[in-house]
Amino acid sequence: MRPERRSRYEELERLLGRVERPSRYVDHEWGAAHDEASDFRVCLMYPDTYEVGQSNLGLAILYSVLNEQDGMACERSYLPWVDLADLMREKGLPLLSLESSFPVASFDVLGFSIAHELVGTNILEALDLAGIALRGDERDEDDPIVIGGGPSVYNPEPLAPVFDAILLGDGEEAIVEMARAVRDGRRAGLPRREIVSGLASVDGVYVPSSYRIAVDAGTTRWGRAVPVEGAGAPAVVRKRVLAALSATPAVPRQVVPYSEVVFDRLAIEVLRGCARGCRFCQAGMTYRPVRERPEGQVVSAALEALGQTGYDEVSLTSLSTTDHSACAHMLTSLNRSLEGTGTSVSIPSQRLDSFGVEMAAACHSGGKRSGLTFAPEAGTQRLRDVINKNVTEDDLMGAAARAFGNGWRRMKLYFMIGLPTETDEDVLAIPQLAERVVGLGRELVPKPQRSAVSVSVSVAVFVPKSWTPFQWEGQLPLGEVRRRQGLLLRACRDRSIRVSYHDPEASQVEAVLSRIGREGFGLVEAAWRGGCRFDAWTERFSYPAWRDAARSVGIDLDEVASAPYDRASDLPWDHVSPGISKGFLEREAIRAQRGATTPDCTRTSCTGCGVCQELDVANDLAGERR
Amino acid sequence: MSDSRRRLRVRYSREGRLAYLGQLELIRTIERCVRRSRLPFSVSKGFSPHMRIAYSQALPVGTTSAAEYFDLVLEGPVELPEALASLVSSMPGDIAPDAVGYVALKEPSLASWLTRARWQVDISSEGSIAGLLAALERVAAAPTLSYERAGRPRTISLSTTLASSEVLRTSELEARLELVTRSGDFAGLRPQALVAAAAREAATEVFLRTRRCAQWHDEAGAPLDPLDPSLLLAPAVTGL
Ligand code: SF4
């Protein structure tokens, strides 16, 4: 039964004195949308804390778009931290939305952001707190329609039983179409089943219940998803894509948080997509083609939104901001307009060459040089060619020299271990490269500051992702990961170099959930029942709990993470396509083995990934890229 | 130094849900409001430029207030009614500026100058309120108050910090207290800590609504309001 739509804030408030950071739960921020009158209500949920979720640009866009629709109200919800969640259970208080404090279960649509592979237990926790059945096929007629979308939807199968529908790709138009379809279906009195299957008619939407899993000789052990007869669902769902960013507002409606959030500044998406073609990178494959926002739009929107929100920092965000064809000019004009206001401009990550450093320097004119981050990803040129990270050691040294010359003293370098074809020599090259950077710093930095020169090396474990050229690869087994980590650590003797690791066990669970099929839901559910939540928080992640969960459902984590897939097999995610052709991925996999690189199609010509033909779009650049 | 700069003193109330902001959150919020207000605020020079603004003492999380203050340095004079109106329109509803005035640039900082505060505490108790009030009387009469905060033991001198404590009214399960506290370069007293200690002694659970009603400077026994005409360059302008 659908709970009553009334504010439960008073009950919540009685608990706020007993929890960490109560300001997470109070709403009433500048810019929050309050519409208690509209009878069609959507709740968008980022299944993590307020600080993480409120920073998410994608949800902010959808919140904005939905609240512009007549007769529709859209609210936010985040997952209460464990202290409050436990108190709410104890007091029988269900999960509430932020704005109206209505029970989340009283909404018509509940939309989750599927941000990464480890978010599954939090989604189950949210549904359970809300009092909504975890599985789509167990929900009641008037329960909310539960939908998902976001970056991590290109192997949706482990969470497929949870979602009534999953959107692939850009959401700004599709979310409205989905909401309208649900609203019209409810008005017409259609049964839930029909409303759900009808969502498949929205371009880009995958309805898991319209597919069954078939396992045979042509598939991996997890099978392939095939449309249920008579469901009218397509064999392959292609992602939704916006032809141009310029047609969308540069800045969505802004909600200015009180508490310090992860990304506490004005964000402007200056481009979407990246065509550099790093072979391990899922976003680089799934967000194509590249669409740049025109410079004029960025600058005027930034100035206007800064005035409205009161932020003292604006960040030009994207997968690769320094690739924007007008990056340098855009930074100059923003800096000029903001002079003397104490407002700064930032870009999240720099390109690994001296242009990247120039841009970073332009962001910090006069400011302090806290640290500069680069991602060479691999220690040797051979391995960088395998992964198509098109940077040379000269690029890195040139960037480092430029950075030291510009006043930076600390540098952070990101690497991965366990990349396909990696040898001990590649691993050992990581500390050697860091040592050369430190050496260069000691040469270039004036004597009194020389001791401040330091490099921190952060090493992640390679996780094979769907819809990348490495989707057939297995992950390096845990024992071998640890051996290589030890090797790297022992080879690193310079005290100015600090090495830190990602937890290889969390990376293994991430690999399992990236690669497994629909059966993976049993694992996620068992893990949640075993107490797992906030798995992306290092201090909360429990490998023993995941191991126990895996054992209870007969899954061997080591085996699932590390077994390679046959290139001839149908994969568990072949039916949800970002538009890239499988043939292109295979060609790239073969070129990787040979160490042959593939150029960036925004700087040369088309390299045949297939997105533009498949989805009838094209790279949309604002000018010539340098 | 430019002589056109002005120090605007702002009084505001803090209500409802915004009681749950911590001091850093409050500061971040007010600074953003000031930026939105488009007042000609002054920014410090140097490596990390920041707004020239100073606040009265932090309000404990969960407390509302009728009288909080901040001092904002402006690059030039703005008519007071206009300054108040632009602040009001840029603040979220639960932070409500209601009086502004210009004080001399060299006035001491609010946080150290404000040495007295009056608080109202509404208590609802799960057990007998009489028992709680009796315990409170004992706790308040002791020279010191000891409790744990964030896992650390703390001791506050009550003879220094607690100027008076009075029960305004009671019913069976509820009571209203009024406290006056002193502050200075010593650890301050949070009313919540006092009542919590009494609740522990009386072995009952309580739910509190705490409000700071006024803050002032004590000049040898004579109270001086932060917007006292003697401090102002021109009469204050009040809203409402
Ligand atoms: S189809 Fe060609 S031009 Fe379009 S994104 Fe792929 S490689 Fe680039």
A581 lines ligand 1 (CB under 6 A): no
Closest CA to A473 of A511, A502, A504: A511
Residue A147 pLDDT exceeds 90: yes
Q: How far apart are CA A327 and CA A423, in angstroms?
A: 38
Token pair in block for residue A338: 């903001």
Token pair in block for residue A527: 């893990």
Residue partners of A86: CB distance under 8 A and separation at least 6: none
A289 lines ligand 1 (CB under 6 A): yes
Q: Does A581 touch chain B (CB under 8 A)?
A: no
Residue A368 pLDDT exceeds 60: no
Chain A window 449-508: which residues touch B at a Cβ cutoff of 8 Å?
Answer: none
Q: Do B93 and A28 touch (CB under 8 A)?
A: yes
Let me know whether A354 and A277 are in one domain: yes
Average pLDDT rounded to a whole number, residues A409-429: 95
Let me know whether A231 and A332 are in one domain: no
Q: Do B43 and A310 touch (CB under 8 A)?
A: no
Let me know whether A228 and A263 are in one domain: no
pLDDT band, very low/low/confident/very high, at A367 (cuts 50, 70, 90)? low
Question: Is-contact A404 A384, C-beta < 8 A?
Answer: no
Let me know whether A163 and A281 are in one domain: no
Question: How many residues are present in chain B?
Answer: 240
Pick A576 or A29 by higher pLDDT: A576
pLDDT tens readout for residues A9-21? 999 998 998 899 9
Q: Per-domain residue ranges for chain B?
A: 6-113+222-238, 116-217
Sign of the CA dihedral with B13 first, then B18, B21, and B27 last = negative
**pLDDT at A182 (0 to 100):** 98
Q: Which of A238, A253, A282 is the last residue of a domain?
A: A238
Chain B window 147-206: which residues touch A at a Cβ cutoff of 8 Å?
Answer: none
Q: How far apart are CA A77 and CA A86, in angstroms?
A: 17
Average pLDDT rounded to a whole number, residues B214-225: 93
Let me know whether A288 and A198 are in one domain: no
Question: How many residues are present in chain A?
Answer: 626
Domain ranges, residue A569: 245-519+555-615
Q: Do B35 and A310 touch (CB under 8 A)?
A: yes
pLDDT tens readout for residues B68-116? 999 999 999 999 999 999 999 999 889 999 999 999 999 999 999 999 9
Q: For chain B, what is the radius of gyration of the CA atoms?
A: 20
Q: Do A342 and B43 touch (CB under 8 A)?
A: yes
Residue partners of A270: CB distance under 8 A and separation at least 6: A292, A293, A298, A316, A317, A318, A321, A324, A330
pLDDT band, very low/low/confident/very high, at B149 (cuts 50, 70, 90)? confident
Question: Is-contact A620 A245, C-beta < 8 A?
Answer: yes
Question: Is-contact B90 B33, C-beta < 8 A?
Answer: yes
**CATH ID of B6-113+222-238, from 3.30.70.890, 3.30.70.580, 3.40.50.1110, 3.30.360.10:** 3.30.70.580
In this complex, the residue of B29, B62, B208 whose CB is nearest that of residue A258 is: B29
State how far Cα A348 lies from the chain centre.
14
Residue B2 pLDDT exceeds 60: no
**CATH ID of B116-217, from 3.30.420.110, 2.40.50.140, 3.40.50.2300, 3.30.70.3190:** 3.30.70.3190
Q: How far apart are CA A509 and CA A117, in angstroms?
A: 9
Q: Do B50 and A23 touch (CB under 8 A)?
A: no
User: Cα of A337 to ligand 1 centre, how many Å?
Assistant: 36
Let me know whether A260 and A188 are in one domain: no
Domains B6-113+222-238 and B116-217 share a fold: yes
Closest CA to A118 of A611, A566, A548, A543: A543
Q: How far apart are CA B92 and CA B97, in angstroms?
A: 10
Q: Which residues pair with B54 in a beta bridge?
A: B71
A241 lines ligand 1 (CB under 6 A): no
Q: Which of B15, B21, B28, B210 has the most A C-beta neighbours within 10 Å, making it the best mutation to test the interface with A?
A: B28
**pLDDT at A69 (0 to 100):** 96
pLDDT band, very low/low/confident/very high, at B56 (cuts 50, 70, 90)? very high
Let me know whether A114 and A259 are in one domain: no
DSSP per residue, A183-241: HHHHHTT--HHHHHHHGGGSTTEE-GGGEEEE--TTB-TT-EEEEPTTS---SSEEPB-
A609 lines ligand 1 (CB under 6 A): yes
Closest CA to A504 of A552, A565, A562, A556: A562
Q: Does B20 touch chain A (CB under 8 A)?
A: yes
Phi and psi of B120, rounded to 5°? Answer: -120, 130
Closest CA to A129 of A172, A174, A177, A87: A87
pLDDT band, very low/low/confident/very high, at A41 (cuts 50, 70, 90)? very high
In this complex, the residue of B20, B35, B207 whose CB is nearest that of residue A14 is: B207
pLDDT tens readout for residues A507-524? 999 999 999 999 999 999
The position carrying tokens 């100059």 is A332
Report if residue A525 sits inside a domain.
Answer: no
Amino acid in position B157: S
Question: Is-contact A533 A82, C-beta < 8 A?
Answer: yes
Residue B240 pLDDT exceeds 70: no
Q: Which of A12, A21, A23 has the most B C-beta neighbours within 10 Å, making it the best mutation to test the interface with B?
A: A23
10 Å Cβ neighbour count for A371?
14
Token pair in block for residue A49: 């804390």
Chain B contact set for A311 (CB, 8 A): 32, 35
**Quick one: three-class SS letters along A505-542?**
HHHHHHHHHHHCCCCHHHHHHHHHHCCCCCCCCCCCCC
**For A20, which DSSP code?**
S
- Looking only at the bridges linking them, the beta strands covering B6-14 and B237-238 are unpaired
* % of chain A at pLDDT higher than 70: 99
Phi and psi of A563, rounded to 5°? Answer: -75, 125
Chain B contact set for A26 (CB, 8 A): 17-18, 20-21
pLDDT tens readout for residues A518-560? 999 999 999 999 999 999 999 999 999 999 999 999 999 999 9
- CATH number, domain of A577, equals 3.80.30.20
Q: Do B36 and A310 touch (CB under 8 A)?
A: yes
Phi and psi of A123, rounded to 5°? Answer: -65, -45
Average pLDDT rounded to a whole number, residues A567-579: 97
DSSP per residue, A264-311: -SEEEE-EE---S--TT-HHHHHT-S-EEPPHHHHHHHHHHHHHHH--
A275 lines ligand 1 (CB under 6 A): yes
Whether cis (ω within 30° of 0) applies to the bond prior to B223 is: no
Return the exposure string of A384-413: e unless at least 16 CB atoms fall within 10 Å of the residue's CB, then b. Answer: bbbbbbbbeeebbebbbbbbbeeebbbbbb
**For A49, which DSSP code?**
-
Q: How far apart are CA A290 and CA A486, in angstroms?
A: 39
Q: How far apart are CA A430 and CA A435, in angstroms?
A: 9
DSSP per residue, A363-431: HTTTS----EEEEEESSSHHHHHHTT----HHHHHHHHHHHHHTT--EEEEEEEES-TT--HHHHHHHH
Q: How far apart are CA A353 and CA A360, in angstroms?
A: 11
User: Cα of B234 to ligand 1 centre, how many Å?
Assistant: 68
Closest CA to A295 of A264, A321, A262: A321
Q: Does A28 touch chain B (CB under 8 A)?
A: yes
Let me know whether A126 and A273 are in one domain: no
Question: Is-contact A155 A572, C-beta < 8 A?
Answer: yes
Let me know whether A196 and A332 are in one domain: no
Closest CA to A56 of A77, A40, A73: A77
**Quick one: three-class SS letters along A397-408?**
HHHHHHHHHCCC
Number of domains in chain A: 2
Of all helices (H) and strands (E), which one includes residue B75?
none
Q: Which of A27, A91, A264, A312 has the most B C-beta neighbours within 10 Å, making it the best mutation to test the interface with B?
A: A312
Let me know whether A251 and A105 are in one domain: no
Q: How far apart are CA A490 and CA A428, in angstroms?
A: 9
Report if residue A594 sits inside a domain.
Answer: yes
Of all helices (H) and strands (E), which one includes residue A420?
none
Q: Do A26 and B28 touch (CB under 8 A)?
A: no
- CATH number, domain of A145, equals 3.40.50.280
Token pair in block for residue A383: 């391995």
Let me know whether A315 and A400 are in one domain: yes
Nearest atom within ligand 1 for CA of residue A606: 2
Residue A365 pLDDT exceeds 60: no
Residue A381 pLDDT exceeds 80: yes
Average pLDDT of chain A is 94
pLDDT tens readout for residues A297-337? 999 999 999 989 989 899 999 988 889 999 999 999 998 99
Q: Which of A238, A254, A281 is the last residue of a domain?
A: A238
| Mutation choice for ligand 1 from A272, A582, A611, CB with most ligand atoms inside 8 A | A611
Full-model pTM: 0.92
Among the ranges given (A81-90, A199-208, B119-128), the one the predictor scored with the smallest mean pLDDT: B119-128
In this complex, the residue of A14, A28, A312 whose CB is nearest that of residue B18 is: A28
Token pair in block for residue A339: 């002079």
Q: Which of A216, A238, A260 is the last residue of a domain?
A: A238
